[in-house]
Amino acid sequence: MTKVIDFQTDPSKYRHWKVEYDGPVANLFMDVDETGGLFDGYELKLNSYDLGVDIELADVVQRMRFEHPEVKVVVMQSGKEKVFCAGANIRMLGGAEHSHKVNFCKFTNETRNTYEAALADSGQNYIAAIKGACAGGGYELALACNHIMLTDDSTSSVALPEVPLLAVLPGTGGLTRVTDKRKVRRDLADVFCSIEEGVKGKRAKEWRLVDEVIPNSKFDETVKERARELAANSEKADVANGIELTPLTRDFTEDAITYSTVEVTMYREGRRATVLIKGPESDAPKDMDAFTSEGAEAWLLRCARELDDAILHLRNNEKELGLIEFQTQGDPEKVIAHEALLLQNKDHWLAGEVLQYWKRLLKRVDMTSRSLVAIVEHGSCFAGPLAELLWSVDRSYMMLEEFDGDNRPTAAITMSDGNFGTYPMGNDLTRLETRFLGTPEQVEKLKSSVGEALQADDAEELGLITYAYDDIDWEDEVRLFMEERASFSPDAMTGMEANLRFAGPETMETRIFGRLTAWQNWIFQRPNAVGKEGALQRYGTGVRGKYDMERV
Q: For 115, phi and psi rounded to 5 degrees? A: -80, -20
Which one, 81 or 320, has the nearer CB to its own copies? Answer: 320
- Strands of the sheet containing 395-399, edge to edge, are 251-253, 256-258, 262-267, 272-278, 323-329, 371-376, 395-399, 467-469
Q: How many residues bind its own copies (CB under 8 A)?
A: 93
Listed in sequence order, the residues at least 6 apart from 53 whose beta carbon sits closer than 8 Å to its beta carbon are 16, 17, 30, 32, 36, 44
* Interface stretch with its own copies, choices 40-48, 65-73, 451-459, 500-508 (CB under 8 A): 500-508
Q: Give the shortest CB-204-to-its own copies separation in angstroms.
A: 14
Q: Give the shortest CB-376-to-its own copies separation in angstroms.
A: 13
Q: Does 480 bind its own copies (CB under 8 A)?
A: no
* Interface stretch with its own copies, choices 39-47, 232-240, 348-356, 541-549 (CB under 8 A): 541-549
Which one, 194 or 293, has the nearer CB to its own copies? Answer: 194
* Interface stretch with its own copies, choices 20-28, 180-188, 253-261, 328-336 (CB under 8 A): 180-188
Which one, 28 or 166, has the nearer CB to its own copies? Answer: 166
Q: Does 29 bind its own copies (CB under 8 A)?
A: no
Q: How many CB atoms lie within 10 A of CB 499?
A: 11
* Interface stretch with its own copies, choices 77-85, 107-115, 378-386, 508-516 (CB under 8 A): 508-516
Rounded Cα distance between 41 and 91, Å, is: 8
Which one, 178 or 230, has the nearer CB to its own copies? Answer: 178
In angstroms, the Cα distances linking 405 to 402, 408, 409, 413, 471 are 9, 9, 12, 22, 10
Q: Does 146 bind its own copies (CB under 8 A)?
A: no
Q: Does 505 bind its own copies (CB under 8 A)?
A: yes
Q: Does 551 bind its own copies (CB under 8 A)?
A: yes
Sites for its own copies among residues 76-115 (CB under 8 A): 98-99, 102-103
Q: How many CA atoms lie within 13 A of 393 on its CB side?
A: 24
Q: Does 552 bind its own copies (CB under 8 A)?
A: yes
Is residue 280 a contact partner of residue 338, using CB atoms and an 8 Å limit? yes
Rounded Cα distance between 270 and 538, Å, is: 40
Q: What is the DSSP secondary structure assignment for residue 331, as one 8-state letter? A: -
Sites for its own copies among residues 369-408 (CB under 8 A): 369-370, 393-396
- 123, 138, 385, 545: which one binds its own copies (CB under 8 A): 545
Q: Does 437 bind its own copies (CB under 8 A)?
A: yes
- 215, 451, 491, 543: which one binds its own copies (CB under 8 A): 491
- 79, 201, 295, 463: which one binds its own copies (CB under 8 A): 463
The partner residues of 49 in beta bridges, in order of sequence, read 88
Q: How many CB atoms lie within 10 A of CB 551?
A: 4
Sites for its own copies among residues 312-331 (CB under 8 A): 319-322
Listed in sequence order, the residues at least 6 apart from 69 whose beta carbon sits closer than 8 Å to its beta carbon are 122, 239, 241, 242, 349, 350, 353
Q: Give the shortest CB-66-to-its own copies separation in angstroms.
A: 31
Q: Give the shortest CB-511-to-its own copies separation in angstroms.
A: 7
Handedness of CA 292, 296, 297, 298 (dihedral sign): positive
Q: Does 176 bind its own copies (CB under 8 A)?
A: yes
Q: Does 526 bind its own copies (CB under 8 A)?
A: yes
Which one, 29 or 467, has the nearer CB to its own copies? Answer: 467
Residue 386 CA from chain centroid, whole number: 18
Rounded Cα distance between 538 and 546, Å, is: 9
Q: Does 168 bind its own copies (CB under 8 A)?
A: yes
Enclosing H/E stretch for 278: strand 272-278
